[in-house]
Structure formats: C-alpha cells, structure tokens
C-alpha cells in the first residue's frame, strides 16, 4: 500500500507538539550537583601505601602522561647472618590530566590496587601546567573515591574476608573451650616424695663422723660380756 502523502510530515509535527507541551527540566548546576553513575571516570586517585614503583602503569599508558621517580634503599637483614635486601622508594608520582584520555588502562593493570577512579570532575585550571597533579594532590583525590558496590546476593565471599572470619571463629571456639574446662588439682610431682624422705632422714639422730654401725655397737657387746 502506498504511503499517504504528507504522513511523514504529520508524524514529525506530532513529536514536536508533544515535546512543546511537556515542562522543561533544567539541572541547576553548579548549585545542584548531578547524580553521577557509580563508575564515573572523573579523576584518578593514588593510594601511595600500595604503590611498589613497578612502573607498570607508566609503561602501559598510551599517552605517556604518568611520571614516576624513585630510588632504592637497603634494608638490613632481619636475622643475624641474613642477607640485606633493597626496596624501591617512591619519590614522585604525577599524572598530567591535560594529556590523559581517561582510558583506565593504568587502573586496570595496577597489580596492587594503588590507583582508583574518583567521580570528581571539577578540577579545571586557567593554567595548563596546573593540570599536572603530583602525588600529594592525587592522594587528596582518594578521599572522594566511593566505596565499592556491594556483592550480589549469590556471590561468593571474598577469600580475604572468609579467611579472617574463619580465624576469628576458631580463636573464639578455643577461648570458650578453655573457659569451660574444670580446673583439676595439680598432681604431685616426682620431687615431692624425695623431699619427704629427706625430711624423715633429718629427724633421725645422726652418728658421729668416721664411726660405722659396727664400731658404735662394739662397746655395748663388751659390757655385756
């Protein structure tokens, strides 16, 4: 069936008419902050304690906008005769957000969870050099990182939490078992009979030194004769 002439125009005018009759809704930004999705890519925060200076994020960055400097320190041996070890100490960690394209590769490849997405996006600057955030500024962004979403009801418990919970339950069970056991009197030790024998021997009269039992009994026999 051939379309009716002018039907497309009528449909377009109907959409325009419905839109014109609706009340417009305007977000009053910046007085009202927008409701951002939970996985919004705003700015990158650095958790410095987890960083091991492995340089993996800087090597994988396609824009080369991550700058890392470090030095090595020698750790003395923990035991006598042990071997000294060296570890990397972070000196500088900076991200140039004027070059960053927010791909998230650095966060994904970090093996120690030192980088996180923050939903904050209000960090525009009048000078492009101020868009290079050093590690102190990146640490401040960590306070704006939202908590991770809750797991699904049917999801498995994380291994770290499960291990900690089992250890706590085992310790509590041991403490309850120790408190429920009755206290029994202590059994006499092997040294107590020996001490009693020594006490009885001390109460008996002692003979003069150098005299045997035959010597002490000999005068008595002579007197009887």
Q: Is the pTM for the entire model greater than 0.85? A: no
Tokens 């291990």 locate to: 163
Q: Where are the beta strands (DSSP E) in the chain?
A: 43-46, 66-75, 85-96, 115-118, 132-133
Tell me the two tokens of residue 192.
Answer: 């107590």
Task: Report the pLDDT value the prediction gives residue 201, as an integer from 0 to 100.
Answer: 61
Mean pLDDT per block of 10 residues along the chain (225 residues) reads 80 89 85 86 94 94 95 87 88 96 95 93 93 95 87 79 88 90 60 60 54 49 48
Among candidate residues 95, 97, 91, 144, the one with its CA nearest the CA of residue 117? 144
Sequence-separated contacts (24+) of 148-152 with Cβ below 8 Å: 149/38
Task: Report the pLDDT value the prediction gives residue 80, as an integer from 0 to 100.
Answer: 85
Task: Report the pLDDT value the prediction gives residue 198, as an integer from 0 to 100.
Answer: 63
All domains in the chain, ordered by first residue: 43-144 (3.30.70.3270)
Task: Report the pLDDT value the prediction gives residue 85, as an integer from 0 to 100.
Answer: 87
Distance CA(40)–CA(108), nearest Å, equals: 15
Annotated binding site for [4Fe-4S] cluster: 51, 54, 57, 61, 100, 103, 106, 110
Annotated binding site: 51, 54, 57, 61, 100, 103, 106, 110
Q: Which residues pair with 118 in a beta bridge?
A: 43
Task: Report the pLDDT value the prediction gives residue 188, as an integer from 0 to 100.
Answer: 53
């Amino acid at each position: 069936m051939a379309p009716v002439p002018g039907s497309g125009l009528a449909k377009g005018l109907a959409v325009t008419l419905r839109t014109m009759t609706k009340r417009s809704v305007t977000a009053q930004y910046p007085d009202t902050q927008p409701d951002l999705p939970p996985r919004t890519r705003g700015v990158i925060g650095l958790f410095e304690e987890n960083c091991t200076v492995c340089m993996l994020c800087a090597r994988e960055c396609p824009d080369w906008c991550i700058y890392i400097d470090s030095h090595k320190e020698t750790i003395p041996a923990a035991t006598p005769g042990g071997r000294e070890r060296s570890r990397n100490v972070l000196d500088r960690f900076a991200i140039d957000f004027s070059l960053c394209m927010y791909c998230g590769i650095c966060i994904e490849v970090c093996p120690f969870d030192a980088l996180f997405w923050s939903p904050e996006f209000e960090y525009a600057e009048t000078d492009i050099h101020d868009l290079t955030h050093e590690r102190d500024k990146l640490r401040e962004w960590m306070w704006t990182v939202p908590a991770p979403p809750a797991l699904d009801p049917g999801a498995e418990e994380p291994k770290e939490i499960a291990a900690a919970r089992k250890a706590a339950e085992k310790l509590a069970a041991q403490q309850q078992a120790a408190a429920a056991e009755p206290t029994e009197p202590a059994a006499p030790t092997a040294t107590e009979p020996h001490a009693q024998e020594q006490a009885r021997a001390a109460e008996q009269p002692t003979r003069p030194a150098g005299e045997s039992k035959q010597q002490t009994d000999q005068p008595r026999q002579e007197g009887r004769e």
